[in-house]
Structure 1
Amino acid sequence: MEASHVEVDEFAEAKTLYASNCASCHGQKVEMFVDRKWKHGNAIDSIISSIKTGYEDLGMPSFDSIIPDEQIGKLAAFIKNGIDNRDSYSFDNKFNPDSLFEVDGVKFKLELITDEIEVPWGYVFLPDNSMLITNTNGTLFHRTADGTLNEISGVPKVQNEGQGGLLDIELDPDFEQNSLIYLSFTKPKDGKNTTAVIRAQLDGQSLKEVTEIFEALPYLSTKHHYGGRLEFDNDNHLFISVGDRGKRDDNPQSLENHCGKIHRINTDGSIPEDNPFVDKENAIASIYSYGHRNPQGLKFDAKTNTLWEHEHGPRGGDELNIIKKGENYGWPVVSFGINYNGTTFTNKTEMEGMTNSEKYWVPSIAPCGMDMIQSDKYPGWENQILVGSLRFKYVTKVAEDMSETQMLKNIGRVRNVRLDNEGYIYVSTEADGAIYKLIPENN
């Protein structure tokens, strides 16, 4: 009898290693990882060195004490093979933007708004429903109603490195009267950097009267966990998220620095008199809540006067929170996550005096961008929260009971989700630099 042929996957062990140790930061599928800029080289020896020693300033841990050299070699060979032949690791069906999608009773198609922006990190809709769009490289665009992209001059210098760059954008609540906008960005200074926010007047295709109204201290040499989301409440307070900058043991639990916090300021940068720590000695007066890791989603629900926030956990433990004045959200004392290299840093998932999340994700989805559906364009979806996933390349729709529905799977690393003035959903992705509009079938 002829022996049957069994095909052996030479990278089977390496795929398991990648899923266990790399995916939470670099993406579930290796093709997301290998299609990138390789600052420290992508030769096999360089990849092995990166895995073994890490790059602390970029948030890359060392694995030399966790993974044996032989396995590191196999993992590096797997990644190198992916670089040389990326398509061979496209394990899922390709995303087809021309499909008719059906999710929870709503059928819709996608309209491509633009694919000319490298990383569309943030965007807002002007009164005429045209768009202002940030690109992390430091460029701000105005997309007109007819689809023309015009660059806006006057943007401050940004440090586009690691997770930094030109980040979020918001319109002033009285924009139609004053034409003011707000931009968050990575500000360089003396070889270090931080999260900062400017206010400026939009004057045609340029920014005028540019004023810095927020600067997170201290400046640090790390190049990750900037936060950077902006959101206004009903009282015209501006909320700003700032990540822990990779200094989890120093920053998020201290009230004497800006990092790992949600801040609340007035439109001119002054501090609201009722901020929770204005009278506390040595505390940063702009702090509204603390104990955060890297918040990249903020949404204020004007109907219920509720500020929603989501933030990246480490390996597991992404959180969806309701932000309350003066509260401590626990990072890194409590968490459902572990270190990227598999070791633990806490065995506590809750503690008296620390606020529990409304929802957490294990494994991490790497959430980015968030909005709430408050229109009738998508019947049955009202009041549900939309969250983008960088890791798994989808949008998840979170219902009021915290159950969720994943949609647009494999659309790409989702950087932002936002509704326009008419209530239509827009989704932006990295790599292809695309922004899509979800058009319900009955429209």
Structure 2
Amino acid sequence: MISRSLFVAGLLAATACSAEPQPADPAAEAQNGAATASTGKPFVETVIADFDQPWAMTFLPDGRMLVTEKQGALLLVAADGKSRVQLATLPVDAEGQGGLMDVVLAPDFTRSKRVYLSWSAAEAGGKGVVLARGVLDDATAGGEKLRQIEVLFRATPFVSGAGHYSGRIAFSPDGRYLFFTNGERQKFDPAQDPKATLGKVLRLTPDGRPAPGNPLAAKGFHPAVWSYGHRNLLGIAFDAAGNLWEQEMGPKGGDELNLVLPGRNYGYPKVSNGDHYDGKPIPDHAPGDGFEAPKVWWTPVISPGGLMIYSGDLFPQWKGDAFIGGLSSKALVRVDLDGTNARKGDQWDMGARIREVEQAPDGSIYVLEDGAQGSQGRMIRLTPAR
């Protein structure tokens, strides 16, 4: 937990303003509220709002939305997108791929009002991703704040560089456990290091402690580790049957959608269906190699952003399917899930880097454009084309 004095000091600190390298497509700009049927797409796109480099969003029970922006702003946005309140400015390090990242409601949010967040932090020894939570105080309309903010967990170790933080959050269906992704920070080997949390899926208690009974603790791993051998894990979600799915960016090729199983090694950097950027080959996944292979993989890459598994009724043909935001591919990607199996579905050109995909309470699908290089990223609502 951070002290009050250190936290306040962090809030006042200036943050860097660099962003991921590919800009959003200027041709994708449109007026807020404009609804247009997209040629070749089975949905209508309605622009709800614009944001400054948004990263993640989630819906409150009343239809309002929480949205994170890279530079550290947590926003409470009206259901129609026409008004917003800044709930907090978090002490993020926004250099490179860093910033304010995920936002997820506690399973008991209606009672506790707790909101979970992740962001990249810097200190003398390096940088890393942290997990935090606060309490939403919205007793006064227009005066809402996120209060009692506390850091619960910090990646181990903090290292140099400004990439591959990951930082995605998902609660187990029973609400007892919090799953948290830690990227390997572009350092390769930590993904296989049993003492590091980097390159891992972690299972924690809602208070941020390593969950009792984690599968690798008795083998000398960090007690929070659930699975390992991952690269840059930018999406994690449970399906209706309780299966945990995770997607991650591969190196030069080999983006992955994985079924996450306890104690399994997903191979990176020892195996991958892509190669290193310097051209050095990495052995492909192969039967019997001792590593868990992805259920679906992409070469050329899609650069997967947020992950959502659809459970609504507005698009009944897609119920139970996975939706992935594509960054370099500027796409919305659908994957057919069938139990513990998966196969590629649709890939729709969205004309801009898609950072986040979320399901609204009414079953519509929301996407957030990345808004890289200082451009505005739009929030777009997708509804069935008639």
- Check whether TM > 0.5: yes
Per-residue deviation, 1:346: 3.2
Q: Does 1:135 align with 2:69?
A: yes
Per-residue deviation, 1:378: 1.3
Q: Does 1:253 align with 2:192?
A: yes
- 2:85 maps to which residue? 150
Which deviates the most, 256-265 or 235-244?
235-244
Cα pair 2:307 2:356 within 8 Å, conserved: yes
After superposition, the C-alpha distances for 1:398-433 in whole angstroms (9 at most, x for unaligned) are 1135132111x1431110001012221000102231
Cα pair 1:411 1:429 within 8 Å, conserved: no
Residue 247 of structure 1 aligns with an amino acid whose one-letter code is K
TM-score relative to the length of structure 1 = 0.75
Q: Secondary structure at the match of 1:229?
A: strand
Q: Does 1:402 align with 2:346?
A: no
Larger Rg: 1
Alignment of 1:16-415 (within 5 A): 33=22, 35=23, 98-101=35-38, 106=42, 108-115=43-50, 117-146=51-80, 147-153=82-88, 155-190=89-124, 192-204=126-138, 205-236=144-175, 237-249=177-189, 251-281=190-220, 283-301=221-239, 303-346=240-283, 349=286, 351-400=288-337, 401-407=342-348, 409-415=349-355
Cα pair 1:261 1:292 within 8 Å, conserved: yes
CA distance in 2 between partners of 1:280 and 1:199 (Å): 30
After superposition, the C-alpha distances for 1:193-224 in whole angstroms (9 at most, x for unaligned) are 10101011111222222221110011111110
Q: Secondary structure at the match of 1:386?
A: strand
Distance 1:101 1:357, change over 3 A: same
Task: State the number of aligned residues.
Answer: 350
TM-score relative to the length of structure 2 = 0.85
Cα pair 2:35 2:47 within 8 Å, conserved: no
Which deviates the most, 394-403 or 338-347?
338-347
Q: Secondary structure at the match of 1:176?
A: helix
CA distance in 2 between partners of 1:351 and 1:331 (Å): 16
Q: Secondary structure at the match of 2:343?
A: coil
Between the two proteins, what is the percent identity of the paired residues? 33
Residue 269 of structure 1 aligns with an amino acid whose one-letter code is G
CA distance in 2 between partners of 1:209 and 1:172 (Å): 14
Residue 381 of structure 2 aligns with an amino acid whose one-letter code is K
Query: Which structure is higher in strand share?
Result: 2
CA distance in 2 between partners of 1:95 and 1:212 (Å): 37
The unaligned stretches of length 5 or more in structure 2 are 1-18, 139-143
Per-residue deviation, 1:94: 6.2
Which deviates the most, 189-198 or 346-355?
346-355
CA distance in 1 between partners of 2:250 and 2:60 (Å): 33
Structure 1 residue ranges (4+ consecutive) displaced by more than 4 angstroms after TM superposition: 93-98, 347-351
Cα pair 2:306 2:324 within 8 Å, conserved: yes
Residue 198 of structure 2 aligns with an amino acid whose one-letter code is C
RMSD: 2.2
Cα pair 1:95 1:410 within 8 Å, conserved: no
CA distance in 1 between partners of 2:336 and 2:39 (Å): 17
- 1:55 maps to which residue? none
Higher RCO structure, 1 or 2 (CA under 8 Å, sep 6+) = 2
The unaligned stretches of length 5 or more in structure 1 are 1-25, 37-85, 88-92
After superposition, the C-alpha distances for 1:79-105 in whole angstroms (9 at most, x for unaligned) are xxxxxxx99xxxxx868775313668x
Per-residue deviation, 1:288: 0.5
